[in-house]
Amino acid sequence: MTYPFDCITDFIFVETEIAPADVILVPGANHPQLMEKAASLYKQGFAPYILPSGGYKPHVGTTEWNYLQNIGIENGVSEAAILKEDKTPYELPGGRLEEFESFLEGLRREVHEETGLHVTMVFGEETKIETNDEDSNVEAMKPFAVYQTINGPVDSLGAYFRCQASGNLVKEGDETEDIKWISVDELHSSLEKNLIDFSWVDKSGIIYYLKWYYMQKQKM
């Protein structure tokens, strides 16, 4: 069953506070336990539908959506209650940091896992400092931009980094498919003509970058 994403108005995101809603959102197959939790919430009557992520996981040999769908069915969810987006929007490479992982380590790991590329330069890396105490280490640095959701399915805070990378794009990465480069001008034109769409979080980062990019061009 497909379901246009913009028709869903009330969400449960399985990692946040739980309340009755239209649908339960489930991210990535790296965390199948979240689908199990979603199945439990579904059976408790919190929402009539579950919407899993739709990327690709090569190590399980199937699409991520099918992988999560199977977990849901195994845990008592009706097949008709597991939704599939009509069209999955593009996302920038990224993800959550592992416990006590540094910004740069996490950045390089996520980019390589999802695209096959190796980050060779991070603009702003020279601003990084570390404080080391007897029982703690803390880093601080200047990212390209930060974001905070002020409405939406989940409260989220994150950072964007501007990088250079080398290597060859993989056909399918960790939770990713249809990986591609796109020029800045083509990106700008495609967004204006609604020929391309980005996830609700990454769209703000893309627009912020385009504004910065064209301001820099005007200064030249």
Q: Quote the CA–CA distance of 36 and 42 in Å, as a whole number.
A: 10
- Give the per-residue pLDDT at 99: 92
Distances (CA, A) of 108 to 30, 164, 169: 18, 11, 14
Average pLDDT estimate for 167-187: 83
Q: Which residues, at least 6 apart from 211, have a Cβ–Cβ distance to it below 8 Å? A: none
Do residues 38 and 55 touch, judged by C-beta distance below 8 A? no
- Give the per-residue pLDDT at 4: 39
Alpha helices in 44-129 (DSSP H): 64-74, 103-115
Q: Is 195 exposed, middle or buried (0-12, 13-18, 19+ CB in 10 A)?
A: exposed
Give the residue extent of every domain in the chain: 2-85, 103-219
Do residues 112 and 169 touch, judged by C-beta distance below 8 A? no
Greatest pairwise CA separation for the chain in angstroms = 60
- Give the per-residue pLDDT at 12: 58
Do residues 84 and 67 touch, judged by C-beta distance below 8 A? no
* Lowest model confidence (mean pLDDT) among 51-55, 111-115, 153-157, 211-215: 51-55
Do residues 178 and 189 touch, judged by C-beta distance below 8 A? no
> How does pLDDT run across 189-200, given as a tens digit for each residue?
988 887 788 888
The pTM of the full predicted model, rounded to 2 decimals, is 0.63
HSE (CB half, 13 Å, CA atoms) of 207? 12
Check whether domain 103-219 has CATH 3.90.79, yes or no: yes
Query: Is residue 28's pLDDT more than 80?
Result: no
Query: Is residue 31's pLDDT more than 90?
Result: no
User: Which token pair is 163?
Assistant: 């990088």
- Give the per-residue pLDDT at 16: 59
- Give the per-residue pLDDT at 87: 60
> How does pLDDT run across 132-175, given as a tens digit for each residue?
999 999 999 999 999 999 987 778 899 999 999 999 998 777 66
Identify the residue whose tokens are 């001008």. 185
- Report the chain's mean pLDDT, rounded to a whole number: 84
Q: Quote the CA–CA distance of 167 and 147 in Å, as a whole number.
A: 28
Query: Is residue 6's pLDDT more than 70?
Result: no
Residue type, 28: G
- Give the per-residue pLDDT at 115: 92
